[in-house]
Structure 1
């Protein structure tokens, strides 16, 4: 387990665990429970898990806490099943986002009141329910203060598709929180928590508050994830990314400007980096014409000029030096 200790009274904490490897299973659940108790704390009590779950806890997990918000990612290779729900819980809302498998929740063990399949999410207010999943289930669970939501949600459940621009922004932000939580200072904790709540509300109403400055880092990160997925697409542009994320081009460009770069600059730099890696690592380096066409440069001359400006060498010079250094 990789964890960073949080001082008493700290408002943030996090740990990650992989108990799927040989030799890690026997203490997998004990390590998970220790990480939870020391990094997340009593405000988010764990349920009692079934004996089958604690005895065969083969799970890749990561957990982060920022004040009164907790994010739990579980990618399970074994069954997960509770045997008792926690006591002393705060007034909380839970969002279950299922990426693989089926997540089940019920009032008693083994009896489902809600089933959440892959590609769906369930947002629920009320006391914790028993939950369970078969092996090979991937889920993210957000525990949020109910005061951040419309009172009409009280004691209700909302189930919808997780394939929305607002959900992509929320998941991009949770990934950033996982990556940075143990290094955040008080201001960072405050900003991370505020953005999480704003984005969770945006998922419910289907609208992103594009004038909220705390949300811009999540927007930039989500745009970069989308751009990386579409790098070879000839239609990739700020307009395409803005449509993907359900924001205006101006909002997207403003968010990138605040981060010290431009949308088109990021796309160009990523394409050049992928071209550079192809020249350095492939047994038979592609030709300049092949690279220019694959990475959507208008012609070979344009690609050569952009490559030299970025790396100080032409593609041919770079390939020669890379091969000489590696030999």
Structure 2
């Protein structure tokens, strides 16, 4: 009996150790004598996910663990088999096979696996989610029902992707973008549009996109054009965790990257940068490398 208990405890300790290595810092506790669990990681360039099996276990992240760990990501949790209780803040859902929920890694969370459960946990970078949702509020801890077309298509796409032997970076990025686009109607909180401040923010984002190629586009010019003070503009963006000038720069860089991915032409990089509002080619190259990790020329070669 002692050896059986020790073996079970060793299995639990190994499981939570692997969880912490793959998914980040979590606390855990067994919920009964029949604990079982394992985790398998899958990586293919931009796709980073894990298959998590658990029975009679609880996983949770405290504010201290969140503060000490790396955030900057969401977990899209696909329930493959069994059931699981998923809680984040005041939102609590019970997932059954085929359901999906979104968890914010920068906030405390609590997961309960009373019976056999199998999940696929897909990492979605903040940057991708925020850009796809155009900075609408993101709904986390809500159940996307298995019977919905969104859930069925998303499940099929991500499972098919894990069966591919050799996804290129371009293919894995496209898969990730497709998943977020599919989930967008279910995870985007759009009912804030009645808020006049939110309407002004959306109007400002649209104005930035409409004038993104203009060299004149800067915080002071933008504030005048949308009819508010520069200080008010900074405050409005700060409430979203954004800095105006940085948002404009990153938006330009993202559109440059999109052009490099889609264009087969050997356009001069200095001309490309200039066309998106970067008058200094050296600054453009440095800023691009800072955002994407490689120079624009190398980035283009990946998609040639």
TM-score by length of 1: 0.42
Give TM-score scaled by structure 2 length.
0.45
Structure richer in helix, relative to its length? 2
